[in-house]
Amino acid sequence: MEIRQNKLTRQWIIFAPNRKKRPKDFRKEKTREELPEYDKDCPFCAGNEELLVHPFIIETPGINYNPWQTRVLPNKYPALEPDKSTFRSMEGIYIKMPGYGKHEIFIDHPKHNICIGLMKNEEVRAVIETYWMRYNELMKDVRNLMVIIFKNHGPEAGASLSHSHSQLISTGMVPSHLRVQAEEAQRYYDDNGRCVMCDIVGFESKYRERVIIENNSFISFIPYAAEVPFEIWIVPKRHEANFGDISEEERITFAEILREAMKKLYEKLNDPDFNYVIISAPRYKAGEPHLHWYLRIMPHLTTRAGFEIGSGIFINPSLPEEDASFLKD
């Protein structure tokens, strides 16, 4: 038994080797659904535009004979709505605000049966460029204090459609767990004069037990205190708080390492359900020296139980070093 602390949050994670499976045993014993290139009932497939409720916000030019490459449109069932205000008010002892925000869908590829791990580099590059364009466009609106870009893949991760897609939600508030993470990073910087994520990247680059993939601009590794088996972080080597500030070259190398990480999960674990999210600095924090953006991938290979829900402490039955070795093998 071992308990490790996450340097970003100071949250404790219990590692229970006596409950663990071998890394290869996390591979889902399932028959992959053989999806067609085109599904006549899928609103995201090329040629099915009449099934969409909203017009496109943007569409990028096609690659490899595709009619288009990515599309962005408003979510048909939005969690938040752009015509609301951000005014806070009191209801007795409670505080509330209207449901302001924007909720957009990214169609990652025109074909129904292509996921990130099976795309070509230039196709993933188009996805990242689309993320970057929409992120920067929405951050121009001062009402948006935070923009979160995320992907749900598979029913256990909350995906309702099998066609590869991502989402963006902007909000007029910043959730407390991101505030706590920023406060921990500020505390670390005040104590050490350095960014905590930069120190994590430096340590992982030197000892390499948990590193999976690395290129000129990014490093991908399983974190020391991974909450779940095969959790993966993709982190820029250059210190930058804001995803929207990355260069064209960094967008290219980010796409390459994301594709490779997704391909490893697809092949090694038989296409597991997962969520990934780009965690970036909120508005007014983009220039802070203690914040560092990154992408976090969370496969759904275990289920949270009563102790985890009650305590907020995760129990991970798989050691990060063994998971990293399995993915690299």
Burial class (CB in 10 A: 0-12, 13-18, 19+), 173: middle
Which tens digit of pLDDT belongs to each residue from 33-48? 689 999 999 999 999 9
| Of 29, 28, 116, the residue nearest 301 (C-alpha) | 28
Distance, in Å, from the CA atom of 292 to the CA atom of 89, rounded to the nearest integer, reads 33
Residue 312 predicted with pLDDT over 90: no
Distance, in Å, from the CA atom of 179 to the CA atom of 282, rounded to the nearest integer, reads 9
Residue 261 predicted with pLDDT over 90: yes
In this prediction, residue 309 has a pLDDT band, given cuts at 50, 70 and 90, of confident
Residue 24 confidence (pLDDT)? 66
Q: Using CA of residue 80, residue 83, residue 85, residue 90, what is the dihedral sign?
A: negative
Residue 32 predicted with pLDDT over 80: no
Q: Are 147 and 135 in contact (CB under 8 A)?
A: yes
Which tens digit of pLDDT belongs to each residue from 121-145? 999 999 999 999 999 999 999 999 9
Structural domains present in the chain: 36-173 (3.30.428.10), 176-275+285-329 (3.30.428.10)
Which tens digit of pLDDT belongs to each residue from 2-21? 999 999 988 899 998 776 66
Residue 219 confidence (pLDDT)? 98
